[in-house]
Structure 1
Amino acid sequence: MPWVLRKKPGVVSNWDSVPKGLYVRHWQEPGRGLADLGRFDVKSVVRNIYTLFSKSELPVAEDGKEVMDLYDPSIPLPPWFTEDDLQMYSSLYEKSGFVFPMQVPYLCSKRDPGRLVDFRDRTIQAPCLLIIGTKDYYLKFPGVEHYINSEKIKSDVPNLEIKFFPEGSHFVQEQFPEEVNKLLLGFLKQHL
């Protein structure tokens, strides 16, 4: 969640350093994300999201473009995301829509930043597990990869265990479901 990370020293200290066309910045503008997604049918939106957000680069739109304009129809779905998955996810979003997925991570932080927890002077002492793919575009947010790899994160979360998946993307739990479940169950057994 970049709006929290920018409060951490050494990570995103200046939100203005984040590219203006980054999906987070676009979708924090009320109505912009839903308008962007609303140009397409639900199945196309889900296909676009999984194709765009499985890459290792930050999804950044050029000036005058929207995030969904980054989609290239010649790029196939990731091999671990099947047409059956696409159909199932699409049918679920047909029922629920995209309002909630846009509201929680993007619009709530912009609308009421005072309600966010300020983590600057907090240390999380509880045991934690971070499972992340080394090809997750999120690591490209300014300072994030260094923060995690330099182990500076351990000063904020001293009981953190980090598991990297060398070929993992932003959807590592979908790429490697058995391995992720095994890690989660092992972590829970160890700490419950």
Structure 2
Amino acid sequence: MVSSPAGRIHLVEQGSGPLVLLVHGFPEFWYSWRRQMPVLASAGYRAVAVDVRGYGRSSKPEDTAAYRMLDLVEDNVAVVEALGERTAVVVGHDWGATIAANSALVRPDVFRAVGLLSVPYAPRGGPRPSEVFARMGGEEEFYVSYFQEPGRAEAEIEPDVRGWLAGFYAALSADTMPAAGAPDPHFASRGGTLRDRFPAGRLPAWLSEDDLDVYAAEFERTGMRGALNRYRNMDRDWEDLAGFDGSPITRPSLFIGGTLDASTTWMADAIEAYPATLPGLVSSHLLDGCGHWIQQERPEEVNDILTAWLASLPI
């Protein structure tokens, strides 16, 4: 545990050498990097995976506004400093990719390179995010809007955390996601729930029953509010980051996405804009037939890409 502006941040550390900070997404915690940490340590890096504020063993402030992006960036800075380092490479998946990107954008003095998994970098800009998401889906409701209403998603998830997580992980995994043309699990019908569209009865190949038990036990212990509060700060982030409107990330960068991940396909324009928005991009990879949980679905490929990229960076 280390001190942060919000209280305490839990971390798991392996290895020594240059620091690589690993940041998870929703609904996960440090455990999502279990297949990367030993490999990075063996390659000579100090691999540190955190529980993001609101998750796992980290502090969970009561105030929803305490989960804004700039606070999460400062948490990452606090981790680097508490570990006795001046700089780090930051790598994130899902929401962690957005946190990592903003860490490199806002504090390039600390984060010397950034790796993004699944969610591309898109500079701040455009209308207020809540307005954008409210217009998506027509007669249906986009999952981000669904999550933004305090208490609503908690009421769906918390009576059966294990079952909900199993369905959510399966819905976005390559081998278990709904077939083309089936109702999209990123949307809920008006008055319905997201779970109505989750596949049932089979776990994705990357997720064992024991792994699911680990995830479920942690969220059963903590509840979901801290994790969901990230979604409830997107308008605050848009306001806080106004000074970075349209700004590129100039630090050396990496992107890895899956061809079956909606985060990649919906944001294809963001990937195409990388020459302008990520001018320091070292390599970009789309893994064929891969879904959203990329470092768990395809750990060997991700590990090979990560270690090759890290080796290419200046010390």
TM-score by length of 2: 0.51
Amino acid at match of 1:77: L
When residues 120 and 183 of structure 1 are mapped into structure 2, their CA distance, relative to the original with a 3 A threshold, is same
Q: 1:52 to 1:110 in 2, by over 3 A?
A: farther
Contact 1:109–1:116 at 8 Å: present in 2 too?
no
Unmatched runs of 5 consecutive residues or more in structure 1? none
Q: Which moved more, 1:89-98 or 1:164-173?
A: 89-98
Kindly indicate which of the two structures has a greater share of residues assigned to helix. Answer: 1
Specify the alignment match of 1:123 in structure 2. Answer: 248
Q: Is structure 2 residue 163 aligned with structure 1 residue 44?
A: yes
The equivalent position to 1:31 in structure 2, one of 139, 151, 167, is 151
Write out per-residue CA displacement over residues 54-112 of structure 1, whole angstroms, 9 at most, x where no aligned residue: 238561111221212222324x11122121211121122222222222112x0122456
**Among 167, 174, 189, the residue aligned to 1:62:** 189
Is residue 145 from structure 1 mapped to residue 268 from structure 2 by the alignment?
A: yes
Amino acid at match of 2:156: D
Query: What SS is found at the alignment partner of 1:129?
Result: strand
In structure 2, the residue matched to 1:157 is: 278
Q: Distance in 2 between matches of 1:6 and 1:28?
A: 21
Which amino acid is 1:21 matched to?
E
Asked if 1:90 corresponds to 2:216, the answer is yes
Write the letter of the residue equivalent to 1:60. Answer: F
Query: Which amino acid is the alignment partner of residue 101 of structure 1?
Result: A
Are the structure 2 counterparts of residues 118 and 25 from structure 1 closer, same or farther at C-alpha, using a change threshold of 3 Å? farther
Q: CA deviation at 1:5?
A: 4.4
Shift of 1:47: 0.5
**In 2, distance between residues paired with 1:157 and 1:125?**
6
Q: Supply the AA of the counterpart residue of 1:18.
A: M
Identity %: 28
1:93 is aligned with what amino acid?
Answer: F
Alpha-carbon distance in structure 1 between the residues aligned to 2:305 and 2:207: 21
Q: Distance in 2 between matches of 1:8 and 1:175?
A: 32
Aligned partner of residue 21 in structure 1, secondary structure: strand
Distance 2:297 2:162 in 1: 20
Paired with 1:35 and 1:107, the residues of 2 have a C-alpha distance of 16
TM-score (norm 1): 0.80
Residues 135, 170 of structure 1: 8 Å contact kept: yes
Q: Kindly state the Cα deviation for residue 26 of structure 1 after the two structures are TM-superposed.
A: 0.7
User: 1:165 & 1:147 partners in 2: Cα distance?
Assistant: 17
* 2:142 is the alignment partner of 1:22: yes
Instruction: Write the letter of the residue equivalent to 1:166.
Output: D
Structure 1 residue 163, shift from structure 2 partner: 1.1
Higher RCO structure, 1 or 2 (CA under 8 Å, sep 6+):
1
Equivalent in the alignment of 1:188: 310
Residues 1:69 and 1:176: Cα distance change in structure 2 (over 3 Å)? same
Gaps of 5+ in 2: 1-97, 99-118, 179-183
The 3-state SS of whatever aligns with 2:168 is helix
Q: Which structure has more strand as a fraction of its residues?
A: 2
Matches of 2:208 and 2:287 in 1, distance apart? 20
Matched, 1:53 2:53: no
Tell me how far apart the structure 2 counterparts of residues 78 and 92 of structure 1 sit (CA, whole Å): 20
Shift of 1:116: 4.0
Q: 1:111 to 1:156 in 2, by over 3 A?
A: closer
